[in-house]
Amino acid sequence: MSLKKKTVAGLFWTVGQQFSSQTISFAVSIILARILSPSEFGLIGMLAILMSVGNSLMDSGMTSSIIRTKNADQMDYSTVFILNMAGSFVVYAIVYISAPYIANFYDQPILTNIVRLYCLSFIFSGFMGVQSAKLTKEMNFKLQMMIQIPSVIVSGILGIILAYNGFGVWSLVYMNLCQSLLLSVQHWFYSGWRPSLKFDLERFKYHFDFGYKITLAGLIGTIYDNIFTVIIGKNYSAAQLGFYTRALSVRQMPISNLSAALRKVTYPLFASINDNDVKLKVVYRKLIQQVIFWLVPLLVLLIVVAEPFFRFLLTEKWMPAVPYFQILCVTGMLYPLQSYNYNIIKVKGRTDITLKMQIIKKSIAITGIVFALRFGIYGLLYFQLISAVIDYNLDAYYGGRLINYSITEQLMDILPTVSLALLAGVVTWQMNRLFVVGFAHHDLLRLIVSGIVYYGIYLGVSAAAKLAPVTDFRELILKK
């Protein structure tokens, strides 16, 4: 299969996986949000930084090294598997011991038992890390989709049943554990790969040399990305943290469906052509235009209809999350631009740059957070936006320099799409203001009409103007 066909197939199955699993997860979260209280979601939100740091530590960036290694063999896979497994048990042991101190930090005694049970997922994930990396390296995203969907469905059903029967926050804990266990079991059953009890010190050094810099950079980024949940959880109520995490999770749905799917495909794709800077730039340019073309208008529309959207899906009790959500959507528009520049740096093997960038970015960020704290939650949210702009400029500068794709070029390539998305948003917002006068309590009708108006303008003008992403999409998908 040619690289183009392999990429298109990978995109199809990965987007399918992301869309299906995220849609199911989103539907489950809506049902759970109607049953459970914001404070119960806030308790799980307090574990966000713990889960992210734990996952980074137990992997040590070595699965990324496996994916970029062109001739990885059984010895490579087995060496990394043994390290992942050892790492997962060590990380879980540290978390188990630390659980009472985490509970004391948040002044939530129930967190001791929640942490010890919830974080068993580290061990389940350690069992499947290499299998998942191998499937990604082979761009076998169809199988990953077939593994992901049943896990999400079964665990979602379990969570809903437990919530209806009064398990409260524990329904979220058991749902997460069930999903992690099912994913691990299915990866072992379907991947076809089994580890050998072999460990090669030279392979370890090779993968560790690449991976530890990614891990350190990832840890710095992870701690920063989750520092807001820690600050909100420590300084405000569990309910306010619940509003924040709910806004963040709803914002993440379109980003996860499209941006994360493309990132998963683009890393092995970029790795396969990392010796050809001209081709790498062409492929990168087309992909970034595609993701901006589909993601940005959706986020703009969600900002416009955030109020009826939250009330219709989650009920009135979640309305305090609306302004958080709108600010986070603006921040989310920059996420794919950062992500793909970061992938370029990784496939070029310049993990020294990733570590350097994270130190610079997060040093600036921590200073900013101290200043933003005096302005409360909104100060933190607006600072996230400022920080995202800084992060993008650094990622784009270093990533673009490696393939001769400057920040100015990148911005000029996406400017027509972003401008059109904002214009359609302004028109829809004005229409929505007039519409609400007579249909204030008809949230579903407002959502439908707003969506039709917005995408009618956006897609109609895009096609008429023959924007580059439209032309490329037709060529890539319709004429493959």
Q: List the helix and strand counts (H, then E) for the chain.
A: 21, 0
**How far, in Å, CA of 258 to CA of 336, rounded?**
9
The full DSSP string for 443-464 is HHHHHHHHHHHHHHHHHHHHHH
With contact defined as beta carbons under 8 Å apart, do 243 and 321 qualify?
yes
Confidence of residue 480 (pLDDT cuts 50, 70, 90): very low
For residue 14, the model assigns a pLDDT of 60
Dihedral sign, CA of 332, 336, 342, 346?
Answer: positive
- Residue 424 CB contacts under 8 Å (≥ 6 apart), including other chains: 297, 300, 454, 455, 457, 458, 461
Encoding tokens for residue 70? Answer: 């062109």
Over the stretch 359-369, which tens digit does the pLDDT of each residue have?
787 778 778 88
With contact defined as beta carbons under 8 Å apart, do 122 and 91 qualify?
yes
Over the stretch 451-479, which tens digit does the pLDDT of each residue have?
999 999 999 999 898 888 888 777 665 55
Over the stretch 293-351, which tens digit does the pLDDT of each residue have?
888 999 999 999 999 999 888 888 899 999 999 999 998 888 777 776 666 776 666 66
Give yes or no for residue 2 having a pLDDT over 70: no
Going from N- to C-terminal start, the domains of the chain cover 1-239, 273-480
Work out the average pLDDT over 267-292: 73
Helix (H), strand (E) at residue 41 = helix 38-45
For residue 477, the model assigns a pLDDT of 58
Helix (H), strand (E) at residue 30 = helix 3-35
Work out the average pLDDT over 375-389: 88
